[in-house]
Amino acid sequence: MRLAHRAALVKAMPTGELNPVAESMFGAAIRRISRVSVVSEHGGQLPVVEAIAQPHSGPVPFSVEFFPPRTEADEARLWHAVRVFERMNPAFVSLTYGAGGSTRDRTVRIAGELAEATTLTTVAHLTAVDHSVDELRGLIGSYADRGITNLLALRGDPPGSPMGEWVAHPDGVEYASELVELIGSLGDFHTGVASFPEGHHRAPNLAADTGNLVRKLRAGAEYSVTQIFFDVEHYLRLRDRVVAADPEQGVKPIIPGLMPITSLQSVRRMMELSGSALPDKVADRLAAAAGTGPEEDRAAVRAVGIDLATEMSERLIAEGAPCLHFCTLNFARATSEVLDRIGVDTRGALVPA
Ligand SMILES: Cc1cc2nc3c(=O)[nH]c(=O)nc-3n(C[C@H](O)[C@H](O)[C@H](O)COP(=O)(O)OP(=O)(O)OC[C@H]3O[C@@H](n4cnc5c(N)ncnc54)[C@H](O)[C@@H]3O)c2cc1C
């Protein structure tokens, strides 16, 4: 669809206001220090694949992932992290799409604020779960309305439990590849998808999982971002599998997802929810740091977590990863420390969080 058509489409979609609380808390400050966002020749934000090819301030481009905060205090923390990272020139930032209604509204609002009030290329996650195609069209239009053309197309997990039974919305889509197609049919969007170095927990085997990633790329996805992993070999094997399955799609960037571990208990829970486990070597190092007391030694675990993320980043850079994507949980400091250690110009951004 050409731009004129998209303009028409966008006009037909709901427009959003800046949330009054955020406006009063952050609006003036945001506007005071904002510059014009990096724009593409089409007048929108840079597509992710172009953004990661721009000059960057370290050995590799990096990007950061946030989630929509629930409270005003959490929102203040998010904006603190946004401003810290903004000084380090990330290739892009992304915002996850939550499971419930109000979280979903917040994703749309905050993604819009990121795109409008910062210099950051913003990727909005969008999940198909529990949405009819009509609702998805409306959401995609809401993003376009806010100048967001980079979307990460996901199926999402069943509400309540990621391991629960997947039931498609009766008027929705079954798989992320269909969402990629839907987005592509609605305008000049730039779509990414999820990839899984260890295979998605519902895929019967790695070949089927690779086939699905290739299907999503053929449907129009321009890149993928991986699930968080802790063994670089899994990432490298995924890359090899995609190239072998379809050399044409294999040239599309596979952006590795990283997370500096700051709590052993939390990362174990996170891995459980995603249907995977920590590699033994990593678990052993973290367990040794955690100690045998009733509470884990958080400072020691955090130090090992930063070491691990730094070591992984260095290996990924050596292996030619196109960008490093950090899941921040809306905290700036741990990721900033890793970035500093791999040689990203943190330009005094390492202030207490
Ligand atoms: C980088 C990243 C970001 C994420 N962000 C979010 C987020 O913001 N919000 C959220 O709720 N979740 C998010 N998730 C989690 C994601 O929604 C889940 O992992 C979900 O279970 C899979 O989504 P998908 O898009 O990969 O699904 P799909 O690609 O649709 O795959 C789902 C399953 O179906 C199989 N499959 C796909 N197509 C076919 C077919 N044609 N025939 C047979 N089998 C098929 C696949 O092999 C896979 O097992 C994210 C995951 C990643 C890696």
**Helix ranges restricted to H, the chain:** 3-11, 20-22, 28-33, 48-51, 72-86, 101-117, 133-145, 176-186, 206-218, 232-245, 247-250, 264-273, 280-290, 298-318, 333-342
Instruction: Supply the residue whose CA is at minimum distance from atom 46 of ligand 1.
Output: 203
Distance 88 CA to ligand 1 centre (A): 30
Instruction: Supply the residue whose CA is at minimum distance from atom 27 of ligand 1.
Output: 155
* Beta pairing, strands 62-66 & 122-127: unpaired
Q: What are phi and psi of 208, to 5 degrees?
A: -65, -40
Q: What is the domain partition of the chain in residue ranges?
A: 3-260+322-332
Q: With respect to CATH, is domain 3-260+322-332 assigned 3.20.20.70? A: no
Active-site residue list: 65
Q: What is the DSSP letter of 20?
A: H
Instruction: Supply the residue whose CA is at minimum distance from atom 26 of ligand 1.
Output: 194
Ligand 1 atom closest to residue 156's alpha carbon, by position in its atom list: 17
Neighbouring CB atoms inside 10 A of 5's CB total: 12
Q: 299 near 276, Cβ under 8 Å?
A: no
Q: 334 near 70, Cβ under 8 Å?
A: no
Ligand 1 atom closest to residue 125's alpha carbon, by position in its atom list: 8
Question: 15 in helix, strand or coil?
Answer: coil
- Tens of pLDDT, residue by residue, the chain (353 residues): 333 333 333 322 333 333 333 333 333 333 222 333 444 554 569 999 999 999 988 999 999 999 999 999 999 999 999 999 999 999 999 999 987 667 888 999 999 999 999 999 999 999 999 999 999 999 999 999 999 999 999 999 988 888 889 999 999 999 999 999 999 999 999 999 999 999 999 999 999 999 999 999 999 999 999 999 999 999 999 999 999 999 999 999 999 999 999 999 999 999 988 888 899 999 999 999 999 999 999 999 999 999 999 999 999 999 999 999 999 999 999 999 999 999 999 876 665 54
The reported pTM is 0.89
